[in-house]
A and B are shown apart, each in its own frame.
Chain A
Amino acid sequence: MVNQSATRGEARSGRRALLLAVPVAIVSMAPLVWAGISSLRPGEEIFRYLSPFSWRTLFPESVSLDNYLSVLQSPFALALVNSVSVAFFGVALGLVVAALAGYALAVLPFPGRTAVFAFMVVCFLVPFEAIAIPLSASFREMGLANSYAGLILPALGNGLSIFLLRQFFMGIPSSLAEAGRLDGLSWFGVLRRIYLPLSRGPMIGAGLILFVFQWQSFLWPLLIAPAPDVRVAPVAIADFAQETGVDYGQMFAAAILTAAIPLLLLLFFQRHFTGSTASSGTKE
């Protein structure tokens, strides 16, 4: 009885909370939805129906993909390709670096392990943005300006992804590693045969951290690779907006394309975060 009335009370307060949650969600989505709608109408139509507000503000007279077609035929397409390739190599190489380091820090018994881990935590505390400007000066001196290497390298020294994988690897029962060692596996073999197959979820998590870092970055590519042939999408969009006589329809199409890729990845990989496979290896 008590239980039942409690759930009924909860349901009532849940409905009241819904009245607050829905407007907040709408406010949160509105700028993206408006950008999405604007990307489907001709540039000159975007500001026509704003004051006074009318139903035409939200519903275009005609819907067309022309903005997307012209953006994909413009130099912005190259910027999008640059962004995707830089992110791909950043994630792939960054994962290798992070998995090796996280595994060594979690599993290998060697003297100085705590010191190395402390060193990585200290590095993690120096915000990348704060040192981006002095770092970009040394990158320029090394001839890495306007190169893919210059764009990719900073993403590889990612303390957060190392930390995440170390935490997960520490949760895998060490009896598995010991058994592997007794069977004559090298330490690298233990990583490849035992740890990595158990670590799909955390590897995807670390990959997303690396991807978001790379896809979000704006200050660094602006400093190190502003040239049109290596420019990434966020820099290209900022350049776009600062042109005179910018076509806002096309600008919104470019914005939506740049935003859509991380959104799709987030939605696609979301289910991999739930549930851990760490404990499934042993019968304990």
Chain B
Amino acid sequence: MTSVTARTEREVTRGRTRRSLVRRETWISAVVLLLPAVVLLLLLRIIPTVTAMAEAVPLGGERSPWSNFAYIFSDPSFLNSVWVTLLFSVIVNPIQIALALALAVLLTKHIPAVGLWRTFILLPIAVPQAVSAIIWLVMLRPDGPLNGLASAIGLPTVPWLTEPGWALISIVIVCSWVGVGYWMTFLVTGIKEIPSSLYEASALDGANGWRQFWSITLPGLRRPLLFVLVADTVSNFLVFAPVRILTQGGPQGGTDLLMHNISERAYTLGDTQAASAATLVLVAIVIVVVTIQFRMLPGKED
């Protein structure tokens, strides 16, 4: 009797040590496997964010910690840049999302060779933005092909990059040419996941395509549409290459989007403190806008 109990007890203890050994091996493996990613993310994301904050809000000096913000908010070039960025955002996001949605609906119909047309519309995203901007720089020249085409069909030529309003429209066109096909692909995937039985049932009830779009497609696309809305908005707040290559922020500051304004501050003017403060303002604007978007769209009901 006693010997049997002793033996089971010994086995239980041995099992427990083995289990704790396994748990330790798992723990060590997890640390080793995660270490590179965690170190890199700390080094490349967290530390620079903290550095930017420390630089924008210098503590312990003679100046007020908020002097950098006071400076940029009294600087007409920065205020203009915030205004241009918001204006750009209000124009470009509805255009891109409406176009992406329209194209997604169009390219989920039973079109011959539908994959080919989708690929053609997606291709611009694969081209580096700097290269796209270079191509459009020539397309939009006063003597470029766009104006050549306009005059060939009897339209007036357009001062694309030389007049502030048209220059901003040019940036909108270039960014949309690059982005619309990309955002479209997420919506195409979303539409394909809507059960076709819903459409068949509503067709039997006599609903036309327009009714079906509002009552089936749009509600069914809520999740991918929210993703596209947020991701597209964020990416449009961060536009840099087209501005740098097409207009350098001009004419008369008409296309001076925040990313460009910040990089000019940091590298042409050498004012890294003001640049960091402006970066934080940009991040704050992005967070506020994205939060509003999450609130406005009906959230998680399923």
Interface residue ranges of A208-235 to B (CB < 8 Å): 212, 215-216, 218-219, 222-223, 233-235
Report yes or no: A237 in contact with B37, Cβ–Cβ below 8 A.
no
Tell whether A241 is near chain B: CB-to-CB under 8 Å. Answer: yes
The residue that A218 contacts in the complex, of B40, B130, B137, B138, with Cβ under 8 A, is B130
Q: Which of B24-32, B163-171, B217-225, B294-302 contacts A (4 or more CB under 8 A)?
A: B24-32
Beta-carbon nearest neighbor of B290 in chain A: A125
Measured in the bound complex, the distance between the Cα atoms of B245 and A218 in whole Å is 11
Report yes or no: B111 in contact with A97, Cβ–Cβ below 8 A.
no
Number of B residues, CB within 8 Å of A: 82
Chain A interface extent, by class = 35 or more
Assuming the A-B contacts A17-B109, A17-B111, A31-B139, are A238 and B244 also in contact, with contact meaning beta carbons closer than 8 angstroms in the complex? yes
Report whether over half of chain B's contact residues are helix, strand or loop; otherwise say mixed.
helix
Measured in the bound complex, the distance between the Cα atoms of B134 and A92 in whole Å is 29
Report yes or no: B34 in contact with A130, Cβ–Cβ below 8 A.
no
Write out the residue numbers on chain A whose beta carbons fall within 8 Å of the beta carbon of B214: none
Write out the residue numbers on chain B whose beta carbons fall within 8 Å of the beta carbon of A130: 238, 279, 282-283, 286
Interface residue ranges of B103-148 to A (CB < 8 Å): 103, 106-107, 109-112, 114, 116-117, 120-121, 123-124, 126-139, 141, 143-145, 147-148
Report yes or no: A216 in contact with B117, Cβ–Cβ below 8 A.
no
Interface residue ranges of B212-240 to A (CB < 8 Å): 234, 238, 240
Give the distance to chain A from B282, nearest Cβ to Cβ, in Å.
6
Report yes or no: A21 in contact with B107, Cβ–Cβ below 8 A.
yes
Tell whether B152 is near chain A: CB-to-CB under 8 Å. Answer: yes
Report yes or no: A157 in contact with B45, Cβ–Cβ below 8 A.
yes
Tell whether A145 is near chain B: CB-to-CB under 8 Å. Answer: no
Report yes or no: A186 in contact with B272, Cβ–Cβ below 8 A.
no
Please count the residue pairs between chain A and chain B whose beta carbons lie under 8 angstroms apart in the complex.
Answer: 255
Report yes or no: A126 in contact with B121, Cβ–Cβ below 8 A.
no
Write out the residue numbers on chain A whose beta carbons fall within 8 Å of the beta carbon of B121: 24-25, 28
Report yes or no: A18 in contact with B38, Cβ–Cβ below 8 A.
no
Report yes or no: A108 in contact with B112, Cβ–Cβ below 8 A.
no
Specify which of A52, A103, A188, A218 lies most central, judged by the most chain B CB atoms within 10 Å of its CB: A218
- Apart from A57-B145, A101-B36, A259-B128: 12 A-B pairs, beta carbons within 8 A: A13-B110, A31-B132, A47-B144, A50-B147, A51-B151, A110-B26, A116-B38, A126-B45, A212-B126, A219-B241, A234-B129, A258-B128
- B interface residue numbers (CB < 8 A to A): 25-27, 29-30, 33-34, 36-38, 40-41, 43-49, 51-52, 55, 103, 106-107, 109-112, 114, 116-117, 120-121, 123-124, 126-139, 141, 143-145, 147-149, 151-152, 177, 181, 200, 203, 209, 234, 238, 240-241, 244-245, 259, 262-263, 266-267, 272, 275-276, 279, 282-283, 286
The 8 A-B pairs at the shortest CB distance, nearest first, are namely A101-B37, A234-B130, A50-B148, A53-B152, A157-B40, A14-B110, A104-B33, A187-B29
